Amino acid sequence: MANITFEHVTLQYPIYNSRGMSLRNQIVRIATGGRIEKEAGHTTVVTALNDVSFKLKDGDAIGLIGHNGAGKSTLLRTLAGIYQPAMGRIERIGRVATVFEIGAGLEPELSGYENVFNLGMMMGMSYKQVKAILPDIEEFTELGEFLQLPVRTYSSGMTMRLMFAVATANTPEILLIDEMLSTGDASFQDKSKSRIQKLIAAAKIFVFASHDPELIRTYCNRVFRLEHGKLAEVGMDAVG
């Protein structure tokens, strides 16, 4: 059984040396999607998540919608435990897998194989478990001998193949995706889509941030809208 509980969760970013700069404050507000709560000395505090509460349980597939900078990525990273809230309580039960941005957690000077072990163990797998998924990663990435080379020699598409393969090698109980990924040729995109669909079907809780209404309607059964750090559950008709 998997579940996630957020109780009055608030997450804030400090922005330094911005007192009295109304233009900078406006840019910060637009860029983060948060709200400038207060100024103390030379520190401006931007609230990215503001008193957010919800409960997720087995069978929930959540579509996150909102304008660019609304806080969708911040919420996903808070769900994953990457960001810690300033206030509130979070309870998370279940193994988590994330599919986020290119390159997160990779060490460019290490080989593809070495990065597989690093990423796998960062996700909570043992050395033995990572070793067991190596054949699957070799087959799925189609990187061949490049897996022996430093990741700094990879193209962005090759890097995403490696990241995607590790993140999706094991079936998680909680799957978090920040936009649906597409990289490489049509054949590899088909493989990625098929792999994601299997993970979504097997995961107990799925949370998906996207601007694509069709994908949200296809994969999700609940919709959360974020606007300047405030969250509200809305009907599927709000997707567009």
**Rounded distance between C-alpha atoms, residue 86 and residue 79, angstroms:** 14
Q: Under DSSP, is residue 154 helix (H, G, I), strand (E, B) or coil?
A: coil
**For the chain, which residues make up each domain, given as ranges?**
3-94+210-239, 99-203
The CATH H-level (homologous superfamily) assignment of domain 99-203 is: P-loop containing nucleotide triphosphate hydrolases (3.40.50.300)
Q: In what order do the strands lie in the sheet with 61-65?
A: 96-99, 174-178, 205-209, 61-65, 222-227, 230-234
**Rounded distance between C-alpha atoms, residue 101 and residue 103, angstroms:** 6
142 contacts 73 by C-beta, under 8 angstroms:
no
| Residue 99 pLDDT | 79
Question: At the topology level of CATH, where does 3-94+210-239 sit?
Answer: Rossmann fold (3.40.50)
19 contacts 42 by C-beta, under 8 angstroms:
yes
| Residue 23 pLDDT | 46
Q: How many other β-carbons are positioned within 10 Å of the β-carbon of residue 85?
A: 18
| Residue 34 pLDDT | 54
User: Which parts of the chain have pLDDT scores under 50?
Assistant: 18, 20, 23, 27-28, 30, 32, 40
Length of the chain measured in residues: 240
**Rounded distance between C-alpha atoms, residue 170 and residue 18, angstroms:** 44
| Residue 71 pLDDT | 87
Whether 3-94+210-239 shares its CATH topology with 99-203 is answered yes
Name the β-bridge partners of 230. Answer: 227
**Rounded distance between C-alpha atoms, residue 161 and residue 130, angstroms:** 17
pTM (two decimals): 0.77
| Residue 16 pLDDT | 63
79 contacts 98 by C-beta, under 8 angstroms:
no
52 contacts 71 by C-beta, under 8 angstroms:
no
